[in-house]
Amino acid sequence: MTKILAVLGRRPVGPLLALAFTARTTAAVLPIALLLALADRYGYARAALVGGSTTLVLALMVPLRGRLLDRAGHRHALPVMGACAMILTATAAISVAARWPWWTTLLLVLAANMSSPPLNAALRSSWRRLVSPQDLKAVHSADSILEEAGFVAAPLTAGALIAFLGPVTAYQTAAAIFLLVIALYLTAARAYGLTPAKAPAAPVRTGTAARAHRWLGPLAQPRILMIMLPLLVMGCLFGGMGIYVPAYSQHEHTTALIGPLLAATSAGGVIGGLLYAVLPTHRLPLWTLYRLLTAGFALPACFLLLARPPWALGALLLLSGLFVTPLFISAFLLVDAHATDDVRTEANTWIGASTDVSNGITATVIGALAAQQHFTTALTVLTGCAAFGLLTAALLPNPATPTGPPPAPEDITPAAQASDVRAGA
Measured over the CA atoms of residue 275, residue 278, residue 280 and residue 286, the dihedral's sign is positive
Q: Which DSSP category does 201 fall into?
A: P
* pLDDT, mean of residues 2-13: 70
What is the distance between the alpha carbons of residues 157 and 383, in angstroms, rounded to a whole number?
32
pLDDT score of 425 more than 50: no
- What pLDDT, in 10s, does the model give residues 321-354? 999 989 988 998 888 887 776 777 778 778 877 8
> 205's torsion region: left (phi>0), alpha (psi -120 to 50) or beta?
beta
- What pLDDT, in 10s, does the model give residues 241-292? 877 887 787 778 776 777 688 778 888 888 988 888 788 887 888 899 999 9
pLDDT of amino acid 27: 83
pTM for this model (two decimals): 0.68
pLDDT of amino acid 203: 61
CA 78 to chain centre: 19
What is the distance between the alpha carbons of residues 389 and 381, in angstroms, rounded to a whole number?
13
- What pLDDT, in 10s, does the model give residues 199-231? 555 565 656 666 666 667 677 778 888 888 999
Is the pLDDT higher at 419 or at 109?
109
Q: Which of 97, 137, 91 is nearest to 282 (CA)?
A: 137
Is the pLDDT higher at 231 or at 145?
231
What is the distance between the alpha carbons of residues 225 and 232, in angstroms, rounded to a whole number?
10
* pLDDT, mean of residues 371-392: 90
Which amino acid would we find at residue 154? A
Is residue 128 a contact partner of residue 407, using CB atoms and an 8 Å limit? yes
CA–CA distances in Å: residue 45 to residues 28, 41, 42, 48: 21, 11, 8, 5
Total H helices, total E strands in the chain: 17, 0
Q: Which of 78, 74, 82, 344 is nearest to 195 (CA)?
A: 74
Other beta carbons less than 10 A from residue 164's beta carbon: 10
Measured over the CA atoms of residue 385, residue 390, residue 391 and residue 396, the dihedral's sign is positive
Other beta carbons less than 10 A from residue 170's beta carbon: 24
ω into residue 79 within 30 of 0, thus cis?
Answer: no
Measured over the CA atoms of residue 288, residue 291, residue 293 and residue 299, the dihedral's sign is negative
